[in-house]
């Protein structure tokens, strides 16, 4: 319950901070401490975090904290000096990616990484226009709002500029196409035909759209789209900010599950486990096109502390076998959610992979009328039971389950049991 101190915190925040910073839940949570898949509020209560994918290896994972502390006490400077640390980090990172993705750039956020990806694509193609998916979100800068329909077509938005071309988001659940992959890929081909080849710089998509509603793309969609884009001279950018680092369980990178290799991969959120870190990985050829005489420099991007943390996060993911863990616990969670779906009519669809899961709530399974208010209610009641979830998707009716990766079998059981009783009481 909101107490006097909480009201004070809220009031001060409203007075001093921009008011379009949103606050989760009707009854906000004031967290003061985190440990692995748990958060603790100012009264010492524990919450199961089933939502925050940034704390990928766990909130305040001791190895990551130590790596940051030790490097901070030793040196923290920029990329204009030689360092074995950045080389080792780049080497380990590229070893997780398929050939020919072998050149890294380090920045400070997913937004900066997407900005840079766009610059790389434009330098390489000498073209400007970009194809984006409806409902996509790629970051908070001016240009990224331009390529994010979720923002520029949402409240306060003013639409897309003429160089941005939006195609429908491939949504297997709501698809009316007989062959969803081909049906949705066709929009991209039509878009390219309509724009004239020489204008196309590329195509960007999350390998599994998250803001779009935790969507798993139809199996052959990306292969068909990548071919059409490349035939037209464009580059294919995979935004793996939410989906990378083993989260989807079957693969280390979500794009791998569709058997494609992008030209540029964009990384953010989990790679720093909460430390501001973003990266772009591309081919030598594309990186060389970008090396056109203008220096690329980011004051903090690739600094020693960021590299120490980034390297440790990567090693923890691998050594703790978190990808296999996500596959196992995610599989158990999906099976439990499917069982709930068999008893609760409101669950229209259960989807996802590993610990990247979505539960779409609908009022009617035939009309697919979104159960938006109900989804909001569920998330708030789960919060009251101290389990943190969120909603997303074009209709805000998809429950988002995307926990720190240490989320285990017992946590999954608790989430399923609580969700069951909340759905029964709705």
Ligand X SMILES: Cc1ncc(COP(=O)(O)O)c(C=O)c1O
**Which residue among 242, 257, 391, 418 contacts ligand X (CB under 6 A)?**
242
Minimum CB separation from ligand X for residue 56, in Å?
13
Minimum CB separation from ligand X for residue 211, in Å?
6
Contacts of 217 (CB under 8 A, 6+ apart): 170, 172, 181, 205, 207, 208, 209, 258
- The CA–CA distances, whole Å, from 92 to 97, 309, 404 equal 9, 13, 22
Q: Which of residues 191-230 bind ligand X (CB under 6 A)?
A: 206, 210
> Rounded to an integer, what distance in angstroms lies between the CA atom of residue 318 and that of residue 313?
9
- The CA–CA distances, whole Å, from 369 to 169, 206, 366 equal 18, 25, 8
Q: Which residue's Cβ has the minimum distance to ligand X? A: 110
Minimum CB separation from ligand X for residue 95, in Å?
23
DSSP output for 14-54: HHHS-TTS---SSS---EEEEEBTEEEETT--EEEESS--S
CB atoms within 10 A of CB 31: 16
**Segment contacting ligand X by CB under 6 A, of 68-76, 225-233, 234-242, 330-338:** 234-242
> Rounded to an integer, what distance in angstroms lies between the CA atom of residue 275 and that of residue 83?
20
**Which residue among 49, 129, 146, 239 contacts ligand X (CB under 6 A)?**
239
Residue closer to ligand X, measured from CB, 222 or 340: 222
Rule CB under 6 A: is residue 114 a binding residue for ligand X?
yes
Phi/psi for 129 (5° steps) reads -80, 145
Minimum CB separation from ligand X for residue 397, in Å?
19
Binding residues with ligand X: total (CB under 6 A): 14
Q: Which of residues 338-357 bind ligand X (CB under 6 A)?
A: none
- CA angle, 205 as apex, 204 and 209 as ends, to 5°? 160
Rule CB under 6 A: is residue 110 a binding residue for ligand X?
yes
Rule CB under 6 A: is residue 109 a binding residue for ligand X?
yes
Rule CB under 6 A: is residue 272 a binding residue for ligand X?
no
Minimum CB separation from ligand X for residue 112, in Å?
7
Quote the strand ranges of 171-253, DSSP E. 200-206, 235-239
Q: Which tokens in the block code for residue 176?
A: 């009316």
Minimum CB separation from ligand X for residue 288, in Å?
25
**Which residue among 268, 336, 370, 406 contacts ligand X (CB under 6 A)?**
268
Q: Which residues face 370 on adjacent strands? A: 362
- The CA–CA distances, whole Å, from 295 to 62, 79, 80, 111 equal 37, 12, 11, 20
- The CA–CA distances, whole Å, from 316 to 274, 312, 331 equal 14, 6, 22
Residue closer to ligand X, measured from CB, 151 or 325: 151
Binding map of ligand X across residues 120-159, x = CB under 6 A, - = no contact: -----------------xxxx-------------------
**Segment contacting ligand X by CB under 6 A, of 69-77, 104-112, 189-197, 343-351:** 104-112
Minimum CB separation from ligand X for residue 137, in Å?
5
**Contacting residues toward ligand X, per CB under 6 A:** 109-111, 114, 137-140, 206, 210, 239, 241-242, 268
């Amino acid at each position: 319950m909101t107490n006097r101190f909480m009201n004070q915190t809220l009031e001060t925040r409203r007075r001093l901070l921009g008011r379009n910073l949103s606050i989760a839940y009707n009854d906000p949570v004031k967290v003061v401490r985190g440990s692995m898949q748990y958060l603790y509020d100012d009264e010492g209560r524990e919450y199961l975090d089933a939502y925050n994918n940034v704390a990928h290896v766990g909130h305040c994972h001791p190895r990551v904290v130590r790596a940051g502390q030790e490097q901070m006490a030793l040196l923290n400077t920029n990329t204009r000096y030689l360092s074995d640390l950045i080389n080792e980090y780049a080497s380990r990172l590229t070893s997780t990616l398929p050939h020919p993705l072998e050149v890294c750039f380090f920045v400070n956020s997913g937004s900066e990484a997407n900005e840079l990806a766009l610059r790389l694509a434009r330098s390489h193609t000498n073209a400007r226009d970009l194809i984006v998916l409806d409902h996509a979100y790629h970051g908070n800068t001016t240009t990224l709002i331009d390529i994010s329909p979720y923002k520029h077509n949402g409240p306060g938005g003013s639409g897309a500029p003429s160089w941005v071309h939006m195609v429908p988001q491939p949504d297997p659940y709501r698809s009316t196409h007989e062959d969803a992959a081909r049906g949705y890929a066709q929009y991209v081909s039509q878009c390219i035909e309509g724009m004239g080849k020489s204008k196309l710089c590329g195509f960007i998509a999350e390998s599994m759209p998250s803001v779009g509603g935790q969507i798993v793309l139809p199996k052959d969609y990306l292969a068909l789209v990548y071919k059409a884009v490349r035939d037209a001279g464009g580059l294919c950018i995979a935004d793996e900010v939410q989906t990378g680092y083993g989260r989807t369980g079957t693969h280390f990178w979500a794009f791998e599950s569709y058997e494609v290799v992008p030209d540029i991969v964009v990384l953010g959120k989990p790679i720093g486990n909460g430390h501001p870190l973003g990266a772009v990985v591309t081919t030598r050829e594309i990186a060389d096109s970008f090396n056109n005489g203008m220096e690329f420099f980011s004051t903090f991007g690739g600094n020693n502390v960021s590299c120490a943390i980034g390297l440790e996060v990567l090693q923890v993911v691998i050594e703790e076998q978190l990808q296999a863990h996500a596959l196992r616990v995610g599989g158990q969670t999906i099976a439990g959610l499917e069982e709930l779906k068999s008893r609760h009519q409101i669950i229209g669809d259960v989807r996802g992979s590993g610990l990247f899961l979505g539960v779409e709530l609908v009022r009617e399974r035939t009309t697919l009328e979104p159960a938006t208010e109900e989804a909001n209610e569920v998330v708030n009641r789960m919060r009251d039971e101290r389990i943190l979830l969120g909603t997303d998707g074009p209709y805000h009716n998809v429950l988002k389950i995307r926990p720190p990766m240490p989320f285990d079998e017992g946590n999954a059981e608790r989430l399923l049991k609580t969700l069951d009783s909340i759905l029964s009481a709705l």
